[in-house]
Structure 1
Amino acid sequence: MTSADTRLSRAHIWLLTLSSMAVALVIAAMAALYTALPEIAADTGASQQQLTWVVDGYTLALACLVLFSGALGDRYGRRIMMVLGLSIFAIASAIPLLLDEPNWIIASRAVAGIGAALVMPSTLSLLTGGFPAEKRGVAVGLWAGVVSGGAVIGILGSGLLLQVWSWQAIFLAMTISGAVLAVAGCTVPESVDELRPPLDFWGGITSSVAVGAVVVGAIEAPVRGWADPLVLGLFGAGVLAASGFATVELRVPHPLLDVRLFADRGFGSGAVSVGVQFLVAFGYFLLFVQYMQLIFGYSPLMSALAMAPMIAPLIGISIFAPRLAERFGLRLPTFIGLLCVGIALILVSRTTVDSTYTDVLWPLLILSTGLGLCTAPATAAIINGTPPEKHGVASAVNDASREVGAAIGIAVSGSILAVGYTDRIAPALPSLPEQARGPVGDSLAAALEVTEQAGPVAAPLADFAKEAFVHGAQQASLALGILTVVMAFVLGAWAPGRPRKTTGPVTTEQVLTDR
């Protein structure tokens, strides 16, 4: 193939740029408020539970609706869904600029999540429909790299804005970005399933209930406990709804998602791999940001800059990772990538209060290298495991796996961190004044605020609280690391290996969906 054959046209470059920017905005919005939560609480009087829903209301709406949104894109047009989603996202993000009461902020985030659910599957399906097969691997690789780095971009951008303005600047930036991209989206060609099958509403309802119940259960578990009746009931409802979804999809003539696709080794292992990647990544980001601010004493901006080095290997490796899968199959990059991530997290679990930034930087780079190796091939396997006219739904499966994984990862990581901190700080509580026991026992942030007010005499308590936090963070990192290593071997056995030899030219689809 000549260089002219592989060179992207201006139209392809523009489509790739716009799709990548749109999905980066959607993912960045998930993590952009991490660094602003203390300021939002101080300005609005939001409780800790309300702050949790400021972040998770967006993720919940996105995770529940993304699968049905992908079907809407296939049915009515992926471009129009992307433009509509960006418009809804922009309008919803503007609400806190006018109404800054906590419940209004939560409501606006949920509506923005609805818009994001329309955007995410549309961006990827526009790429897969607009690029020829021989150029699709690079496009999907770059898109996947941007998705993986989107959270870091959001944390970095919010840190910069908080240096010069208040938390409302983050919402203003999201409003402007969404509006500009919505206008720009009108310039790309439409992509649609020519058959225009009827929508599977029962599939949409059952899938939304299943995802919503599991995500809400994961959000509530750290607060209520994993054995709480409500949490167990939510998980049980999620399992029942998922069973109902599978039953519906096997019976209707035009299913929202043909569940038999999961029997395909490439599609099934790719979906699980994506979920695991976001589970461990967002679980680790939760630990990393707090570690930088509470242990190292970094500002929000410095915390974001500390995470920024992971972007280069993440995106750079994602671009050529699909070519590795084309040559060696999905198994090798999945196994090596997840193994790198797991090893990095186990190394992170060995950090102490006296660790330096260098001690956490090189595990961070190993983690980003691993994510870069396995993210794009998993996404490509999901897309290539479905017919082109269903790429919107396939993109939605990819996105739903990410969002559910992220929500569970944040819940698991936060729960283990909280339990580890509480157990280690408990011996110090009886000797404290009664009014100080609650804040010190709740979190390191509250403990440091108490010790700062008490003055130098409370320095030993501050040091002990930091050690308790690091203990919880070590346990959470170790749990995430062990989980990832185990899944590396599981998916390494499940994912398809080196493609079989064929007499004709080998395509990306043949390689990644080798069954």
Structure 2
Amino acid sequence: MDTPHQVSPAVHRRRWLILGVLVFSLIVVVLDNSILNVAMKTIATPAPTGLGASQSELEWAIDAYTLAFAGLLFTAGVLGDRVGRKRVLLGGMVVFGVGSVLAAFSGSPGELIAFRALMGLGGAFVMPATLAIIVNVFERDEQPRAIGIWAGSVGLAIAIGPITGGLLLEHFWWGSVFLVNVPIISVALIGMVLLVPDSRDPAPGRIDPTGVLLSIAGLVLIVYGVVRGGQLADFTAPAVWSTIVGGAVVLGLFVAYERRSRHPALDIGWFRNPRFSAAVAVIGLVFFALMGVTFFMVFYIQSVRGFSPLQSGMLLLPLAVAQLIFAPRSRLVVDRFGARAVCTTAMLAIAAAFAAFLLLDETSPLWILEALFFLMGAAMAHVMPPATVSIMQSLPREKAGSGSAVNNTFRQVGGALGVAVLGSLMSSVYRGRLELPARAPHEAGESIEATRTFAERAGPAGKELMVHADSAFITAMHVTSLAAAGTALLGAVVAAAFMPAKGRGPKEPERDREHAPATRR
């Protein structure tokens, strides 16, 4: 009888140290994005304080990273399975570090967007490798706990990022929020070389450049069209809908090509498993809603309520602390009630938290905001670990890199589209509610920061304009939060219909047992 895959005794003994190194590597990738959220208001400020970035440029500073990340994840996962996940992880960290240094010294929003894309390229080779290595150094019964810690580290990064960013912005220039990555990356690289073992697929496929190019083109076209629609406040414009439709067609070609390819970047056959598909969909939907909400909440806290970047980071702590507390323990709840009940309830809680943003206005007590952040964090902590475990345990270990790539692709694409769609919705509603003076330029209504910049130069009339701008922003925030709540409700429906119930978790993949002798080291 074939025996299950076993981890070598030497690797098994140091598995928790290996997990610590991998978590440290993951933290630097997540840390950068959480820092950027706090720094967006500063970057939007005209030079020399910031770069004078517009609302659309801020969105692209986020989406350039995410699109490069998501577009290359398929290749990163396949390459890790083929040449070794440790090598891919080391290379990705180096590229991410170089991109961080270049981003720190950007001279324009365009340069920042380009260097953020380079960072995304590096990140694409980091995140899937960390999860794939975890699956290969932990036995199956310990994987839920390890993955829970891996997911909980995201909460730690969310907590550290805004506070670190706030402290840096109070004492240094905006570029310091990227330069801080360098010492973290240096420590992580040393730990990887000394502790992390290498692993690979004994029967890997070839890299699929055609599939990668099609996926990148399709995603860029769709997100660009959505962002442009928000800028114009008109999604019926030919330049907008034609770009979105073109992106959808390209992604359709991507799926058709992958189905016929002998060595696809994405094995479409995996999606025939409803549990796999449901987990992927839930992850994409929850990050669509979360990233879109996070994008506008920074402006609510800093622009409408007037808090500093450091104070903004402190106010986000409940969201991060809740994830840090509950994510490593979510497996206990799943063991008792099943992934379906846990994920469905958590998605309903996320939807309720987003809907409760209707309670927020220009003078709302801060405890309401803090309670909502804590509820969001606790709910997220009961969605991501079980959904990730469901994905990874639906596939054999030798395909851990590719499976991790799928998990993170839908997470990042969901986040990118959330920022684009919900950001565009917010921009459209804000423009529709704001009444600018006749002499105001069109750009003054693009975002609340653009309006504030114009109002500061408008004299006494500017104060009255800002009162109207704050009111228009609150209305736009309420509409956008309801859209996010609707997205979370859709995720709850998917989880309730297809996630595994108690006692019906995924069985050990057949190929995992077949390749056990080859993968044992």
Q: Does TM-score exceed 0.5, indicating one fold?
A: yes
Structure 1, 413-422 or 109-118: larger mean CA deviation: 413-422
- Structure 1 residue 211 displacement after superposition: 3.2
CA separation of 1:382 and 1:423: change in aligned 2, threshold 3 A: same
Paired amino acid for 1:71: V
Paired amino acid for 2:427: A
CA separation of 1:414 and 1:200: change in aligned 2, threshold 3 A: closer
1:313-392 to 2 correspondences below 5 Å: 313-392=322-401
Unpaired stretches in structure 2, ≥5 consecutive residues: 1-10, 510-521
Structure 1, 32-41 or 257-266: larger mean CA deviation: 32-41
| 1:109 aligned residue | 116
**Matching residue within 292, 310, 334 for 1:301:** 310
- Structure 1 residue 163 displacement after superposition: 1.5
| 1:12 aligned residue | 15
| 2:219 aligned residue | 211
| 1:472 aligned residue | 476
Contact 1:347 1:363 in 2 (8 A): yes
Distance 1:301 1:255 in 2: 45
| 2:4 aligned residue | none
Unpaired stretches in structure 1, ≥5 consecutive residues: 1-7, 501-505, 511-515
1:234-313 to 2 correspondences below 5 Å: 234-313=243-322
- Structure 1 residue 509 displacement after superposition: 4.8
| 1:497 aligned residue | 501
| 1:423 aligned residue | 432
CA separation of 1:350 and 1:21: change in aligned 2, threshold 3 A: same
CA separation of 1:482 and 1:375: change in aligned 2, threshold 3 A: same
CA separation of 1:453 and 1:105: change in aligned 2, threshold 3 A: closer
Contact 2:51 2:107 in 1 (8 A): no
- Structure 1 residue 38 displacement after superposition: 4.3
Contact 2:78 2:205 in 1 (8 A): no
**Matching residue within 6, 20, 31 for 1:28:** 31
- Structure 1 residue 453 displacement after superposition: 4.4
Q: What SS does the corresponding residue of 2:266 show, helix, strand or coil? A: coil
Structure 1, 435-444 or 382-391: larger mean CA deviation: 435-444
Q: What SS does the corresponding residue of 1:86 show, helix, strand or coil? A: helix
1:123-272 to 2 correspondences below 5 Å: 123-147=130-154, 150-187=157-194, 188-224=196-232, 225-272=234-281
Contact 2:104 2:175 in 1 (8 A): yes
Deviations along 1:441-463, whole A, 9 cap, x unmatched? 33322333444445556543322
| 1:86 aligned residue | 93
- Structure 1 residue 508 displacement after superposition: 7.4
CA separation of 1:267 and 1:148: change in aligned 2, threshold 3 A: farther
CA separation of 1:451 and 1:250: change in aligned 2, threshold 3 A: closer
Contact 1:425 1:441 in 2 (8 A): yes
CA separation of 1:110 and 1:390: change in aligned 2, threshold 3 A: same
TM-score where L is the length of structure 1: 0.89
Contact 2:276 2:390 in 1 (8 A): yes
| 1:461 aligned residue | 465
Contact 1:318 1:376 in 2 (8 A): yes
CA separation of 1:240 and 1:423: change in aligned 2, threshold 3 A: closer
- Structure 1 residue 305 displacement after superposition: 0.7
| 2:70 aligned residue | 63
Distance 1:178 1:221 in 2: 38
Paired amino acid for 2:293: Y
Q: What SS does the corresponding residue of 1:253 show, helix, strand or coil? A: coil
Structure 1, 453-462 or 297-306: larger mean CA deviation: 453-462
CA separation of 1:9 and 1:72: change in aligned 2, threshold 3 A: closer
Paired amino acid for 2:88: M
**Matching residue within 448, 452, 460 for 2:452:** 448
Distance 1:102 1:459 in 2: 28
Q: What SS does the corresponding residue of 2:382 show, helix, strand or coil? A: helix
Deviations along 1:206-261, whole A, 9 cap, x unmatched? 33333333333344332244333333333323333333333333333333322121
- Structure 1 residue 47 displacement after superposition: 4.3
Q: What SS does the corresponding residue of 1:499 show, helix, strand or coil? A: coil
Paired residue total:
493
Distance 2:346 2:104 in 1: 41
Paired amino acid for 2:364: S
Distance 2:287 2:159 in 1: 13
Between the two structures, name the one with larger relative contact order (CA 8 Å, sep ≥ 6). 2
Structure 1, 480-489 or 47-56: larger mean CA deviation: 47-56
CA separation of 1:235 and 1:456: change in aligned 2, threshold 3 A: closer
Distance 2:81 2:187 in 1: 24
Structure 1, 24-33 or 231-240: larger mean CA deviation: 231-240
| 2:439 aligned residue | 435
Q: What SS does the corresponding residue of 1:42 show, helix, strand or coil? A: coil
Deviations along 1:257-304, whole A, 9 cap, x unmatched? 221211212210010011011111111111211111122210011011
Q: What SS does the corresponding residue of 1:179 show, helix, strand or coil? A: helix
Contact 1:90 1:176 in 2 (8 A): no
| Structure 1 consecutive aligned stretches of length 4 or more whose deviation exceeds 6 Å | none
| 2:47 aligned residue | 42
